[in-house]
Chain A
Amino acid sequence: MLQINNLHAEVDGNKILRGINLTIKPGEVHAIMGPNGSGKSTLSYVLAGKDDYEITEGEILFKGEDLLDMEADERAAAGMFLAFQYPIEIPGVATMTFLRTAMNAQRKARGEEELNTPDFMKIVKQKAAELNVTADMLKRPLNVGFSGGEKKRNEIMQMALLEPSMCVLDETDSGLDIDALRIVSEGVNALRGPDRGMLVITHYQRLLDHIVPDVVHVMSAGKIVKSGGKELALELEEKGYADYVNAA
């Protein structure tokens, strides 16, 4: 599904990623943990195709295609989804409008029929209910005045709606209380499936109690310094990142 080979990336001349290797197969859930500044968020932005990052070396293959060759919207249409750590506010654009525009743009890009309004409304209402996204939130401008939890639920609802094949969740747990965390995690778990890959980026182990990964990677100074099973997360929780920071 996703294959990252020796990926190097920099921003404004600062080297952030220094040789990432990572392979995610369909159905697998990988977690990346690491201290602040280790390059976790950069990796998620590079996957989604944010402009500010320069790839100096390496490649990313997504379903066998060169991901780095695609624009951000093309990647989205191809099935790459990023749940933002800090979802963006767009004043004046109702959440519902945004969802419909995004959904139909992707369908069109894939050569599929656009959804008519009743069908669209039906799907949105169903997904929204599952994630506790109220009708009021759907009417309000996108993310404007949303609480931290509301923003994150909105992200996961979009994920459910757009049905991507590869989900990247960037610090989805940050700013969530325990109830919100549970709702969001349930939303994510419901999307786990044999055809879908996931990459969960987090600083804390607690998210991984809810979204149990198949593989855990530790990232430090722009590299993956250790990989293991879900027990690696527990170990990190206990001992901290110090060993790995020094190792890198």
Chain B
Amino acid sequence: MPAVQETIDQVKEIDVDKYKYGFVTDIEMELAPKGLSEDIVRFISAKKDEPEWMLEWRLDAYRRWKTMEEPTWARVDYPKIDFEDLHYYAAPKSTTGPKSLDEVDPELLETYKKLGIPLSEQAVLAGVEGARVAVDAVFDSVSVVTTFKDELAKAGVIFCSISEAVREHPELVKKYLGTVVPTSDNYYATLNAAVFSDGSFVYIPKGVRCPMELSTYFRINEEKTGQFERTLIIADEGSYVSYLEGCTAPMRDENQLHAAVVELVTLDEAEIKYSTVQNWYPGDADGKGGIYNFVTKRGDCRGKNSKISWTQVETGSAITWKYPSCILRGENSRGEFYSIAISNGRQQVDSGTKMIHLGKNSSSRIISKGISAGNSQNTYRGLVSAHRKAAGARNFTQCDSLLIGDQCGAHTVPYIEAKNSTAVFEHEATTSKISDDQMFYCQQRGMNEEEAVALIVNGFVRDVIQQLPMEFMAETQKLIGISLEGSVG
């Protein structure tokens, strides 16, 4: 409740500069030469000190990528990306794999402090007493530090950068990497497989409930750099983990590319809750600059009674192309997707989910709330399918769109495929604007237009906000206020 007030305060405070994470960190970087070739792939692999099998895996993906074409089916429109004009590796020079917090470049610590990300293990998140979050901080192409590692290790939890996992836990990486999102999956996923530079790795052993929230914080800093991180989370039988992901980038006039891959695996009775607050730089009011966010996220509920839950709050990026999905393979497995996608200015969002029901009695739930303002286009695209053997599959989908102003668009493109007679699917979608009656009622009680909109929108997205871990709720409500700033009147 107080957070709504904060939203309103936030909206008021913000003047011209809406995007408060737009600063640039001035730090000496090591860059790979622009362009992509087998040599660059080898360069990245060598930088990471990777074993031969990893290099081969990358090269295989690279060769495949060369034969693929960029997808065009999404409802987004942007100039062709020149993949030869990008750096595929950028790392702060000071980072040769810090062993502890003391070794991290103070400039970097300062950056994360400014972003409100606690990298000190003593720090607690503002306003949430006793809540501790372990953070893996990824700066451009590399992980700069991972906190609480030792404490997590005591519980048997492995939480480290993926580069480290390739070296230290090759058996787990070999067993799971690319099994949910194969290297051939799609154009951007294949590109990612070839050049991914870092990301997080999590393994929760059998029967362990991860003792704290895990989190990765992505920051793109360098100019003309693509960020290609790869995250792999494995929840072994009967385990549980809640994982948060945050991201920001400086305000730059050029578009920056972010093509990540996230793979989740849950075995019998295991559960992963994955939350994202995506706040990449959206570009300016005229559509100049901003991040191209082309991300493949997929979870595989392999075990019986396993569960994967995606919650996303998408407010940033110039273009979002993202469909966090669940393959519901296990009997009684469950997939959930809760999404808030807000677009303003010239942003283009094409996002949604896929729920692929393969296992008996698998169930899924989709709640999507899209809000379009300004000159933006916001599309929900989703697939729910039940295959022949998915007897008793259940899905409930609710897709609501809200339009603020008459220069934007809201679109809903669901694909619903039932190939088993006992599958029961329910899908509902609505599009509307904030009703004049609701606005008048709020104004009659003394709120101005912007306060009233913030209040009503917060109500509109509440079903989803409630799915977020506590630490993120307040931040998200603020973010909604910020994203819609200037959308009224």
Instruction: Name A's B-contacting residues (CB within 8 A).
Output: 48-52, 71-73, 75-77, 81-82, 84, 87-88, 90-94, 96-98, 100-106, 109, 117, 141-142, 158, 162
Contact = CB atoms under 8 A, between A and B. Distances in A.
B438 A100 contact: no
B443 A109 contact: no
Contact of B462 (A52, A92, A103): A92
A81 B443 CA distance: 11
A141 B441 CA distance: 14
13 contacts: A49-B440, A49-B443, A73-B442, A73-B443, A73-B446, A73-B452, A75-B444, A90-B456, A93-B458, A97-B455, A98-B455, A106-B445, A162-B445
Nearest to B460: A92
Given A100-B5, A105-B448, A117-B2, A93 B443 contact: no
Which of B2, B449, B455 has most A Cβ within 10 Å? B455
Given A88-B438, A98-B455, A101-B455, A48 B444 contact: yes
Interface string B398-420: 00000000000000000000000
A72 B446 CA distance: 7
Contact of B4 (A72, A77, A82, A101): A101
Given A93-B458, A93-B459, A101 B8 contact: yes
Contact of A87 (B4, B5, B441): B441
A91 B460 contact: yes
Interface of B: 1-2, 4-5, 8, 435-438, 440-449, 451-452, 455-456, 458-463
Contact of B5 (A76, A104, A106, A162): A104
Contacts of A117: 2
A90 B441 contact: yes
Given A92-B459, A92-B460, A72 B2 contact: no
Contacts of A48: 440, 444
A240 to B, nearest CB: 32
Given A48-B444, A105-B446, A142-B459, 14 more contacts: A49-B440, A52-B436, A73-B445, A91-B462, A92-B460, A92-B462, A92-B463, A97-B1, A97-B455, A98-B445, A100-B4, A101-B4, A101-B8, A104-B5
A100 B445 CA distance: 11
A31 B442 CA distance: 25
B181 to A, nearest CB: 34
A102 B460 CA distance: 18
B451 A105 contact: yes
B444 A101 contact: no
Nearest to A144: B459
Contacts of B448: 71, 73, 105
A71 B437 contact: no
A102 B462 CA distance: 19
Nearest to A71: B443
Given A105-B448, A162-B446, A84 B1 contact: no
Contacts of B447: 73, 101-102, 105
Contacts of B455: 90, 93, 97-98, 101
B3 to A, nearest CB: 9
A84 B446 contact: no
B5 A101 contact: yes
Contacts of A101: 4-5, 8, 447, 451, 455
A72 B8 CA distance: 19
Contacts of B452: 73
Contacts of B5: 100-101, 104
Contacts of A88: 435, 437-438, 440-441
